[in-house]
Each structure stands twice: as structure tokens, then as C-alpha cells.
Structure 1
């Protein structure tokens, strides 16, 4: 079964310095029909205005993944990490038993556009951790490239969660297929452009939720960038 969730059906918050679309219930946006999918809890599509950002704040017991689409995101945390996340980077922060961090767009003129992703961990109270890796466009062109997984296989970022994340870029006749397990759930988010997922047309911000499907086929992309989640039920 495939269920489509259109971009326009997401929650939206405009804080002036931050414009954010919420795929699942978050902050002041609450929809009991959309509290998450499997162990995927949050996908926020955020745009941070120049010279602004999230001040220092805390998290616990969550795997937080940042995926930058445009601009740059400066990260600082209580573990001593201070990095800049740019397009192609995948950052994972394990909040575990507690971590403080901030995220800022230092650019004077450019907006930072990124996906903030939360996945429920497979256990609570882990030691907070951080990992960041770069996956250039060539490695994602016309394929679903594994970028995060529970065991860090294939050079992916490691997660304390029963989940895998794939990223792909698709144009024209480029296509890719992913075999799916009937015991799991799959979520495809279109970060930009347009594409077909198992024959269903999707545009930027749209998602496809797959349950009991034998495979996922991605094709007919037009400037498409997709993120695919293989999830615990």
C-alpha cells in the first residue's frame, strides 16, 4: 500500500527568521493522524534567514540528522564539536542522556535551507555522540546511496536506531530500485524537484509512505533529490 502526503498538507510555522514545514506533529502543529511513521518522528523543512539561527537548547534520547540543501549551517554543542554543515553533508547527533547545541546561519545574505530529521533511538541513555560525513553528487546520481544506517555500513553515518537513510539525485531516464521488507515501513521525501515513486508523481515537499510493498522504484526525475527511510514498524 502506498499513501501520498502532499507538501501542502504539512504543518507550517513562520517565525520571521525561520520558516518551517512540518511533516509530522511538532511544536504548535499537532495532528493526531501524523505523529510519525514507524520510528521516524520528525522531518522539518527549515529555512533560516541570514544572520539568525537556533540558540543553545537541549535534547535527550533522540537521533537527530541534519541534511543541508542550500547554504550552510554552523553547529556547536556541549560535546565540544564546532562544525559547518554544507550541501552534501549528513550530520548525526545522538542526544542520548542529554546534549546542548546551537545551529546558526552566519551568511550575511543567503538563506540556509535544510532538513531536520529526528529518529527514535533503539535504546535510551546512550552517551551523546556526533558524526558528520560528506556524500558528493556523483555518489548519489541515479542511485539510492546509503548515507546513514545502524551499523555504519558502506561508509554511511552510524545511527543508534533501527533505520537506514538513502539519498538520491534523479533526472531524465535515471532510475533506481530498492527491495523492501514486508516487515518494515518505507518513507520517501522529495527534497526538491519532481519524481515518480512506484509510478506515483511527486513534487518537492511531497512524501510517499509505503507499507507491504515489495520494492520502491524511483524514476522520471526532474531536478529531483529524494531521501528514503527504511524504518522499524
Structure 2
């Protein structure tokens, strides 16, 4: 099989009162030995954070954390001195390196926030922590959001390329993979058909080689992770 669908309804889920989180891969109290990540993509969570709530200060090391804000705002603080408010339509990258302490909170008193939290394993351990942010590109794309060679808007610590696209209804998207690469597609908005399979927002598509084209039945949005095998 060239691809495996991670259905939205079958994701792990953590409901803690202040956050409702969906896990494409094993995380926290959700453990599935068949879902321990895909290559250097280790975590892909969809977090819905209540007004005024958030993740208290905690530590990370040896991981690149991408946060894509879909609705509302998130306030980021870290021990590198960054205090940032990231709004819907923006993305931040925290390269934890040898270690960083940070918090992420919803500063709104009345609006929930929704974000994708993504962990990518860097090629080398250690190094100085770093922080960057960018706006998600507009237009159909695909747009190179992040890469390990500096070609994207954000620079990762590994040979991973992260693409962002917003196809129109009726568009066809082909997720091309070079030999020796594998991929993961996360549908962020919309729905479509891949041959006789229906994909909806929240679904993930794990691929070992280039899959068939995805025909969009509505305007959509996706993240495509091009990963070293």
C-alpha cells in the first residue's frame, strides 16, 4: 500500500477542561505503538484552547516545534526573552536545541484558540535554541513554509520540507515525492476525493511514495511534510 489514512475520528484525544486536543500520533495519555510518528515527524496535535487558559512553562530539548494558529491568538513566552502574540494565519518555529523553557497561552478573555502543534526531530542534538515567526502565505500554492536548507520562510534543523497550500474547489493537488523520500499530508480545512477515498479536515495521509491526486470538493487547506526516508 502506498498510503495510509489517519482518520480524524480515530485520532487520540485529551480533554482537560481548558484544552481539547486531538493527536495524530502517540502523545501524553494516548499511546498507539502503530502511531509513533512518521520519520522525523513525531507529533501532530490539533489543540483547542479555552479563553484565558494555556500551557504553563515547560521544557523542551532536541526538537523543532512548529505552531500554526488557525483561530484566535496564542501568547508565546520563553527564556530566550521572546514575548510574542501569534494570530490566526501565522506560524512560529521554536528550535529547542540544547534546551528552552516556554509557555503558550490564549490571551483572549472570550475567544477560543485553535492551533496545530507539530514536533520535528532535528538531524543533530544540542545547539543554541532559536525562535522565528511568519505569516502563512496566501494563494493556492503550494508554498514552502519551512525547510532545513533555508529555502522556506522558516529554517528547520533537519532535511524536512513543510509545504502549505490553500486549493480552490475543483483543484487537483499532487503530493510529489522523490525516490528515497516519504511524506505526510494533514488536511486542515475542506474535503476531497483521492480515487474512491474521501478525505476530510483533520484526516492525515501517511505516504511512502507519491499518492494519487487529491480532487478538492471545497476550498481547502493542507500541510504536506516531505520527509527523509
TM-score of the aligned structures, taking structure 1 as reference length:
0.93
For residue 20 of structure 1, what is the aligned residue in structure 2? 21
Kindly provide the CA deviation profile for residues 121-146 of structure 1, in whole angstroms up to 9, marking residues without a partner as x. 010001100111112433xx2x2111
> Of 203, 221, 227, which aligns to 1:225?
221
Kindly provide the CA deviation profile for residues 140-197 of structure 1, in whole angstroms up to 9, marking residues without a partner as x. x2x21110001121x4211001101011112312233343113111100111221335
The question of whether the paired residues in 1 share the 8 Å contact of 2:42 and 2:121 is answered with yes
**Residue 8 of structure 1: SS of its match in structure 2?**
helix
The question of whether the paired residues in 2 share the 8 Å contact of 1:90 and 1:157 is answered with no
C-alpha separation in 1, matches of 2:193 and 2:164: 15
For residue 62 of structure 2, what is the aligned residue in structure 1? 61
The size of the alignment, in residue pairs, is 228
For residue 203 of structure 1, what is the aligned residue in structure 2? 200
Q: Does 1:176 align with 2:173?
A: yes
Distance 1:156 1:25, change over 3 A: same
After superposition, the CA RMSD in angstroms is 1.5
Unaligned runs of 5+ in 1: none
- Pairs within 5 Å for 1:92-131: 92-131=93-132
Distance 1:169 1:137, change over 3 A: same
Higher deviation after alignment, 188-197 or 30-39: 188-197
Unaligned runs of 5+ in 2: none
Runs of 4+ in 1 over 6 A off after TM superposition: none
Q: How far has the Cα of 1:198 moved from its partner?
A: 6.3
**Residue 219 of structure 2: SS of its match in structure 1?**
strand
For residue 212 of structure 1, what is the aligned residue in structure 2? 209
C-alpha separation in 2, matches of 1:229 and 1:136: 16
Q: How far has the Cα of 1:228 moved from its partner?
A: 0.5
The question of whether the paired residues in 2 share the 8 Å contact of 1:182 and 1:211 is answered with no
